[in-house]
Every structure is written in C-alpha cells, then in structure tokens.
Chains A and B, each alone.
Chain A
Amino acid sequence: MSDVANPHLQRHAPLYAKLERDEFDSASLRQPFSIVGAILRTPGAVLRDLKAEKNLSGYLACLAFTTILFSAAYGAILGLFQPGVQTLYSAAKLPIVVLGTALLCTPTFYVFNAILGSRFTFRQTVVAVLFLAASAALVLVAFAPIAWFFTVSTKGEGFLVLLHVSVFLIAAWYGMRFLSTARKYLGYLDATQTPIHGAFLVVWFGIVILVALQMAWYFRPLLAPGPEGPVFHTGQRGLFFEALEPFVK
C-alpha cells in the first residue's frame, strides 16, 4: 500500500481513498434492505467485510433475499404486458434466471480464481458473486417504474423486447462494475494475493452473459405467453441465438 511509485496505484488512488472512507456496520444487516444502501453508497466497507469474512452469513441472506425480491418485481412488470397468470409466472421465473445464472457460474469463478492465485474461500466467492446478482437486480428494480410505464402504454412487442434487453444490459453492466471495483480494491487491500484475476474476470463476464441468455431463453416466455396460453415452463429446448434468426434472415 505504501508503494506510491506503482502507476496502477497512482491511477486509482482517488478511488481507493474514497473506498477507504466508506463505513458500514454489518450488524444492521438484520434489516435486509440495508444492503441496498451499502451497495450504492459504501461499497468499500462492504468489500472490507468480505475480505475479513465478517458476517458473511448475514450478507449471504440479505443479498439472496434482495436479488429474489427485486428480480421478481421486475419479472412481474415484464409479465404485466399480458396481465393475469403470465404476470405471476414471469415474477417467479426472473429470480430463477438471475440467481440461477449467478449460482451456475459461481464454481467456475471460484476454481479459476483460486488456480490463478486467489485465497478467497468458497463462501467469500459466493458472496462476491451474489453482489453482482444483487447489484444487477437493484438496477432492474430502479428501472421498474419506467418499464411499467412503457409496458402498460405500448401495444407492440418489438419495442418492449428492445427496452427490456437494454435494461438487462445496463443491469449486467452495473453488476459487473461492482465486481470490477471489488477486484481493484481487494487487490489494493492485500497485495500478497490476487483475490480476483483481471483477465479471467473479463472471460468470466462473457460466460455469465452467455449463461444468462441461455437461462432466459430456456425459461421463455417472459413477456407474453405463446398460442397455447400461459405455462410456467414450456419444456422446449433451444439455443438463445435462435432469437436473433428473424433479424438475420
């Protein structure tokens, strides 16, 4: 930390100074929504807790809870396009997609980081990945009023698909930015290891996007039910890039 000649440290010095000033008492996690404020305003304190393995169970529970709740809320708005059972189905399916993607990609994140020099335990890794999921879900819920406004006032599906895909991309970007900040700050806190490997993180983000797309495609329809009426899971197999075929041909 004292190595001021390191250009990497110099470049990110304002960021680290800001993160160092963050304060958050993890005892307040008894109120699950306190994690929202922590993600938005005091990521530095949260990341120090993560490093010190302080109150990880509390973080785990709060992050999982907020991820499920927020993505369910956005899912309900997705399904409001055709109100009724589809609304409930979409509200139930979106948490599966968001949390499922995070959990499916956790083992990869853990094993490759450990091989590349991280001493993070599996529990720490799960919490780190849940931070990504919760941040993304937080953005989803923040866009929910806008999405709701367009859902109830738009007739065509095409525009809504574009809108929702854009919101998901912003959510994914925000979640990834959290992990990217975590990578820099955790590396700064403990220079003896590489808690999250930079190049691998980029590859892993790619995997996350692909898994998320496939999950969303497998659990389709999220927006409007098909001709056979609302069903929770069609059981239909398919690859996500089939969605792009009408545009390519």
Chain B
Amino acid sequence: MTAIVHALLVRRTDAAVPALLGMAALSSSCFGAAVGAYVGGWQTAFAAVKMPVYFLGTLALSFAAMHVFAARDLRAGETFRAALETVAITAVVLGALAPVVFLVTLSCPKPSPRGYAFVILLLTGSVAAAGVTGVVRLHARLRSWRLTAGWIAIYQFVGAQAGWLLKPWVSHTLTDDRFLPLRENLQGNFYESVFRTAVRLFS
C-alpha cells in the first residue's frame, strides 16, 4: 500500500489503474470519515462512503467530456489514467490531512456556531490545498494550461452538482438520520440555488 502511494507521489513509475482507484477510494474515505465525525454516529459511516462516491462518480460522469478535448493527443486509456491520477493525488492529500481534521471534528465544540465555523474553515483549507496539488500535478502531466483549465472546468461543473446531491457533509443541524435526503436534493440544483441566492441578494 505505502509502496503504491510512494510511487504515485514521487512519480517514479506509473501506478496501475486498480491501485490508483483503490488508493483514491481509501484516502477519500478516510477524509470523509474525518468530516462525518463532527456529527458523529452514522454520519461518520455515511460520509466515509459518500466521499469516494463523490470523487470517482464525478470522474465517471465527466470523463467522456474531458476526453473530447484531449483526444487529439491522448488515447482514452491515457486520458483516464491522467484524470484518475489527479483525483488520486487530490484524495491522498486529503487522506494525509484526515488525522488533523479528525482531531478537530472530534474535539471541536458542538452545537456551536464558532465550532461549526472552525470546522468549515479547516475543511475549506484542506480541500484548497488538495485541489491546488491536484491541479499542479495535472498540469505537469498535460503540459497545456488550456487543457488543464478545460478539464478542471468540466470536473468542477459536475462536481459542484454531485456535492450538492450527496449533501449533507457537515450537517449544521447535527442530524445523521439519513444517508441521502435524495428526493429533496433532486429537486434542487446547485446552479439554480446559486442563482436564486444571488437574486435574493439584489432584490
């Protein structure tokens, strides 16, 4: 296991696709569990399952669109490996931060607006660090800012909605009664919600 992580991180060899998939799933699951531990109980398990579904599901949905833009230079297998490697490295960084996140979610006051704010801030920082690392690695591989930006735009576009659908992550109501409030979530859309919020702000 550590050998695969090491190979991926130092880029000495190309890790096999199943190894990358396993590592992305395991690392993101650890991060998910750390996030879910703030609410505790079932939410820890829910988030541990939802986080890998989020990362790999978003990749599965956006892969075809990503490949269209890369098809001139890369074969489908190469596109998939490049994209998966980016997701895996992002997940591994999150997995590395998981122990720190876990300490905070376990010891942070709740219910408390300040505790909630601190957790959200820490998660934002962690995700930003992981995202930047992933983007840098992706660019090193693709060697094209336009393609990198295009891929990120596609992944983000799908990812925002996937995150919306899979919510709650850190529930501010601190309830863990459902894996997914799917019916309610399906009625909304991330972009609609942003639009409505913006309208509310200016009306």
With A237-B107, A237-B108 in contact, do A107 and B99 touch (Cβ < 8 Å)? yes
- Main DSSP-derived SS at the B contact region: helix
Residues B133 and A115 in contact, CB atoms below 8 Å apart: yes
Residues A238 and B109 in contact, CB atoms below 8 Å apart: yes
CB distance from B114 to the nearest CB of A (A): 7
- Please report the number of residue pairs spanning A and B whose Cβ atoms sit closer than 8 angstroms: 67
Contacts of A239 in B (CB 8 A): 107-109, 114-115, 118
Residues B103 and A218 in contact, CB atoms below 8 Å apart: yes
Residues A215 and B2 in contact, CB atoms below 8 Å apart: no
Contacts of A61 in B (CB 8 A): none
Give the interface centre of A107, A112, A214 by most chain B CB atoms within 10 Å: A107
Residues A111 and B114 in contact, CB atoms below 8 Å apart: no
CB distance from B30 to the nearest CB of A (A): 9
Residues B93 and A238 in contact, CB atoms below 8 Å apart: no
CB distance from B3 to the nearest CB of A (A): 9
With A111-B93, A239-B109 in contact, do A118 and B99 touch (Cβ < 8 Å)? no
Residues B107 and A217 in contact, CB atoms below 8 Å apart: yes
The reply to whether the CB of B166 lies closer than 8 angstroms to some CB of chain A is no
Residues B108 and A108 in contact, CB atoms below 8 Å apart: no
Residues B96 and A107 in contact, CB atoms below 8 Å apart: yes
Residues B9 and A218 in contact, CB atoms below 8 Å apart: no
Which among A119, A215, A218 is the interface contact of B10 at CB below 8 angstroms?
A119
- Main DSSP-derived SS at the A contact region: helix
With an 8 Å Cβ cutoff, the count of chain B residues facing the other chain is 27
Residues A238 and B107 in contact, CB atoms below 8 Å apart: yes
Residues B115 and A237 in contact, CB atoms below 8 Å apart: yes
Contacts of B95 in A (CB 8 A): 107, 111
Contacts of A117 in B (CB 8 A): 10
Give the interface centre of A103, A110, A207 by most chain B CB atoms within 10 Å: A110
Chain B contacts with A in 9-30, Cβ cutoff 8 A: 9-10
Residues B109 and A112 in contact, CB atoms below 8 Å apart: no
Residues B99 and A218 in contact, CB atoms below 8 Å apart: no
CA distance A114 to B9 in the complex (A): 6
With A114-B9, A114-B10 in contact, do A122 and B107 touch (Cβ < 8 Å)? no
With A103-B99, A104-B103, A215-B103 in contact, do A114 and B108 touch (Cβ < 8 Å)? no
Residues B104 and A214 in contact, CB atoms below 8 Å apart: yes
The reply to whether the CB of B61 lies closer than 8 angstroms to some CB of chain A is no
Contacts of B137 in A (CB 8 A): 115
Query: Which partner residue on chain A sits nearest B101 by CB separation?
Result: A104
The reply to whether the CB of B110 lies closer than 8 angstroms to some CB of chain A is yes
The reply to whether the CB of B97 lies closer than 8 angstroms to some CB of chain A is yes
Residues B133 and A107 in contact, CB atoms below 8 Å apart: no
The reply to whether the CB of B48 lies closer than 8 angstroms to some CB of chain A is no
| Chain A contact residues, CB within 8 Å of chain B | 103-105, 107-108, 110-112, 114-115, 117-119, 121-122, 207, 211, 214-215, 217-218, 237-239
20 inter-chain pairs at a CB distance below 8 angstroms, sorted by A residue, are A103-B99, A104-B99, A108-B97, A108-B99, A111-B5, A111-B9, A111-B92, A111-B96, A112-B93, A112-B133, A114-B9, A122-B2, A122-B5, A211-B100, A215-B103, A218-B103, A218-B106, A237-B107, A237-B108, A237-B109
